[in-house]
Chains A and B, each alone.
Chain A
Amino acid sequence: MIVDKDVVKDIAALALLEITPEIAEEYITSMSQILTLVEQMQSINTDGVEPMSNPLDGIQKLRLDQVTEGDQRVYFQENAPSTSEGFYLVPRVIE
Chain B
Amino acid sequence: MSRSDWQVDIGLELHVQLLTNSKIFSGASTQFGASPNSQACAVDLGLPGVLPVVNEAVYEKAVTFGLGIGAIINKRSVFDRKNYFYPDSPKGYQITQLNYPIVEGGKIEISLKKGKTKIVNVTRAHLEEDAGKSIHDQFHGQTGIDLNRAGTPLLEIVSEPEMKSSEEAVAYAKYMHQLVTYLGVSDGEMSQGSLRCDANVSVRRLDDETLGIRTETKNLNSFRFLERAIEFEIDRQITALESGESIQQETRLYDSIRDETRPMRSKETATDYRYFPEPDLLPVEIDDEYIDIIRKQMPELTEHKSERFMVEYDLNNADAKLLASDTALADYFEEVTGISGDSKLSANWIRVELMARLNRDSISIKGSPIPATETGYLISLIKNQSISGKIAKTVFEALWQGESSAQKYIEDNNLTQVSDSKELEPLIDSILANNPKQVEQYRAGKTKLMGFFVGQIMKETKGKANPQQVNELLNQKLNL
The chain A residues found within 8 Å of chain B, CB to CB, are 13-14, 16, 51, 53-54, 56, 58-69, 71-73, 76-77, 82, 84-95
Contact = CB atoms under 8 A, between A and B. Distances in A.
Interface string B126-149: 000000001110110111111100
A88 B26 contact: no
B283 interface: yes
A63 B54 contact: yes
B59 interface: yes
Contacts of B144: 84-85, 87-89
Nearest to B262: A95
Contact of B285 (A13, A56, A59, A90): A59
Contact of A68 (B27, B78, B100, B136): B27
B53 interface: yes
A53 B87 contact: no
Interface residues of A, dominant DSSP: loop
B22 interface: yes
26 contacts: A16-B85, A54-B283, A59-B284, A62-B59, A63-B27, A65-B20, A65-B22, A65-B57, A67-B22, A68-B27, A69-B22, A69-B27, A69-B39, A71-B38, A72-B41, A72-B42, A73-B35, A76-B40, A84-B144, A87-B37, A87-B145, A88-B144, A88-B145, A89-B143, A92-B136, A93-B87
Interface stretch (B265-273, B400-408, B455-463): B265-273
Contact of B37 (A54, A86, A91): A86
Contacts of B184: none
Contacts of B277: 53-54
A14 B86 CA distance: 12
A95 B145 contact: no
A85 B38 CA distance: 11
A84 B146 CA distance: 11
A62 to B, nearest CB: 4
B296 interface: no
A77 B38 CA distance: 11
A59 B53 CA distance: 12
B74 interface: no
Contacts of B26: 69
Contacts of B438: none
Nearest to A90: B87
A54 B76 CA distance: 13
Interface residues of B, dominant DSSP: loop
B256 to A, nearest CB: 14
Given A62-B284, A87-B145, A92-B141, A14 B27 contact: no
Contacts of B22: 65-69
Contacts of A93: 86-87, 134, 136, 143, 266
Nearest to B141: A92
B283 A92 contact: no
Contact of B145 (A14, A61, A71, A89): A89
B108 interface: no
Given A85-B144, A93-B266, 20 more contacts: A14-B274, A53-B100, A59-B285, A61-B53, A64-B56, A65-B22, A67-B27, A67-B29, A69-B43, A76-B47, A86-B146, A87-B37, A87-B135, A87-B144, A88-B144, A90-B87, A92-B141, A92-B142, A92-B143, A95-B253
B146 A87 contact: yes
Nearest to B274: A14
Give the interface residue-count category, chain B.
35 or more
Contacts of A89: 139, 142-145
B147 A66 contact: no
B81 to A, nearest CB: 11
Contacts of A85: 36, 138, 144
Which 8 pairs of residues, A with B, have the shortest CB-CB distance?
Answer: A68-B27, A87-B144, A65-B57, A86-B36, A62-B56, A69-B41, A53-B277, A60-B282
Contacts of B86: 93
A72 B50 CA distance: 15
A16 B57 CA distance: 35
**B145, B253, B272: most-surrounded residue (chain A CB, <10 A):** B145
B110 interface: no
A71 to B, nearest CB: 4
Contacts of B27: 63, 66-69
B283 A59 contact: yes
A14 B282 contact: no
A60 B313 CA distance: 47
A66 B163 CA distance: 39
Interface in B249-268: 253, 264-266
Contacts of A72: 41-42
Contacts of B47: 76
